[in-house]
Structure formats: structure tokens, C-alpha cells
């Protein structure tokens, strides 16, 4: 059974640019959530989507947005990138039984 | 405010030296307490879910326990391959998963 797939694995962007990250959940999982992981803050919840609707949102600025498609694939967008957005972005797909994480996208903003 | 705190931040053990990692939580309406293992450059790998105080789960050298305020991950006779960061996360009553900052475990021969 395929796991959670995140693309790309690595990205380097310049301040002020925007970026889109992709997440394909485990087949049959309808919930996808996104997390930002930094050395100082650990994993912080960004948002969760279920059946194409945002069900939950963390405390991040409006520059961070997401969406989910009818096939449950999800994208996360960050506009006007700042140096502090450099992090590992993790996606998890879930059922009632637990959360499975992808390997993440390492974003570096220069 | 919901919070999850893990201790210690880092732990160095000799192979075979058992120890415990702590996760204390203050979360509204806890729906589950999760333990994950994370290796460098990878996503967290699921270990256990605990749902109610008194519950215990075991897997190989690991055993997780839960009380009303904290959870412990006991590591018995660890091996170097157990070296990783161990993350604890609490699922609140809005279905948000709140993570601690992790315990970085090093096991040396």
C-alpha cells in the first residue's frame, strides 16, 4: 500500500516569491493535514482538509493557504516568502485510526 | 492554552541501559495521545496511540503508558538503531494534533 507522497522533496526559493507544495494521501484517506517543522518550534499545525473543505486551521498568517481536490490530493501555498518560512513541511493523511506522515518538503528561503 | 511538553530534550544512553521519556500535556478533551519516531530528514513514523488513562501498549523494546496528565515511553535495553527523535502528540477535541518538541535519543555501543 503506497504511503503519503510529498513533492518536491527539496525547494530553494527567494524572499518574496511564492511556492506550492503537493501531498498525495494514502488511497482511501479523505483527511489531509499540514505541519511546519523548525528546530526551534517543533511541529506546528497549519491546517486540515476533509472532503475538499478546510476543517481546522492553526495560528499562521494568511500567506499560508491550502486546498484539497476531489481525489483527496492537497496543495499548500505560501505567498511572499520570508526567511523565517524555511522549514520542513509535512503532510499527514488520516483516518479514525491514526495519522501517517509523508517524508516532507524541505523549503529553504534565501 | 493546549500544550504538550517533552523531557528531557536530549538523552544519551549506553546500549542496554533502560530509560523513560516523559510527555506531559494540558489539552482540552484529549481524544488520543500519539508517539512517533523521527529519523533525520524523514517524516515522523507512527509508534503508538493511547486513548485512556491506564492504557499501555508495547512494541519490541518500547512500551508506552498514559495517565491523566502525562505519558511515558519506556525503552528497555536499547540498541544503537533506536537512536532517533521521539515525538509525542495530543489530539484535542477539535481534532488538532499538538506536538511536543521531542526527545533526541542517542544510544551508543
**Per-residue pLDDT tens digits for A50-96:** 999 999 999 999 999 999 999 999 999 999 999 999 999 999 998 77
**Cα–Cα distance for residue pair A72/A47, rounded to 1 Å:** 14
Measured between CA atoms, the residue of chain A closest to residue B32 is: A98
State residue B41's pLDDT score.
86
Report the pLDDT value the prediction gives residue B4, as an integer from 0 to 100: 96
Contact B100 A35 (CB under 8 A): no
Cell 513514523 found at: B45
pLDDT at A97 over 90: no
Q: How many CB atoms lie within 10 A of CB A31?
A: 21
Mark yes or no for CB contact B42/A100 under 8 Å: no
| Cβ neighbours of B42 in A, within 8 Å | 103-104
Predicted pLDDT at B68: 92
Q: Which residue of B has its CA nearest to A91?
A: B43
At B66-92, the pLDDT tens digits run 999 999 999 999 999 999 999 999 998
A chain contacts of residue B100, beta-carbon cutoff 8 Å = 42
Residue located via cell numbers 494514502: A26
pLDDT value for A39: 86
State percent of chain A over pLDDT 90: 85
pLDDT at B50: 96
* Closest Cβ–Cβ partner in A45, A98, A101 for B49: A98
In angstroms, the Cα distances linking A14 to A62, A83, A106 are 19, 8, 14
Determine the pLDDT at residue A1.
62
Percent of chain B with pLDDT over 90: 90
Amino acid at each position: 500500500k503506497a504511503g503519503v507522497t510529498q513533492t518536491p522533496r527539496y525547494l530553494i526559493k527567494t524572499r518574496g516569491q511564492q511556492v506550492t507544495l503537493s501531498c498525495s494521501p494514502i488511497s482511501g484517506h479523505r483527511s489531509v493535514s499540514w505541519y511546519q517543522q523548525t528546530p526551534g518550534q517543533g511541529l506546528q499545525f497549519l491546517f486540515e482538509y476533509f472532503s475538499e473543505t478546510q476543517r481546522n486551521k492553526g495560528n499562521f498568517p494568511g500567506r499560508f493557504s491550502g486546498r484539497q481536490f476531489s481525489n483527496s490530493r492537497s496543495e499548500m501555498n505560501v505567498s511572499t516568502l520570508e526567511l523565517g518560512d524555511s522549514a520542513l513541511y509535512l503532510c499527514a493523511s488520516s483516518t479514525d485510526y491514526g495519522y501517517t506522515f509523508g517524508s516532507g518538503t524541505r523549503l529553504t528561503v534565501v | 492554552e493546549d500544550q504538550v511538553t517533552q523531557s528531557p530534550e536530549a538523552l544519551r544512553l549506553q546500549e542496554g541501559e533502560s530509560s523513560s521519556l516523559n510527555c506531559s500535556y494540558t489539552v482540552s478533551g484529549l481524544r488520543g495521545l500519539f508517539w512517533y519516531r523521527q529519523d533525520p530528514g524523514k517524516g515522523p513514523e507512527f509508534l503508538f496511540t493511547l486513548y485512556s488513562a491506564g492504557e499501555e501498549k508495547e512494541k519490541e523494546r518500547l512500551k508506552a503508558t498514559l495517565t491523566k496528565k502525562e505519558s511515558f515511553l519506556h525503552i528497555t535495553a536499547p540498541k544503537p538503531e533506536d537512536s532517533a527523535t521521539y515525538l509525542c502528540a495530543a489530539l484535542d477535541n477539535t481534532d488538532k494534533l499538538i506536538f511536543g518538541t521531542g526527545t533526541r535519543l542517542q544510544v551508543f555501543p
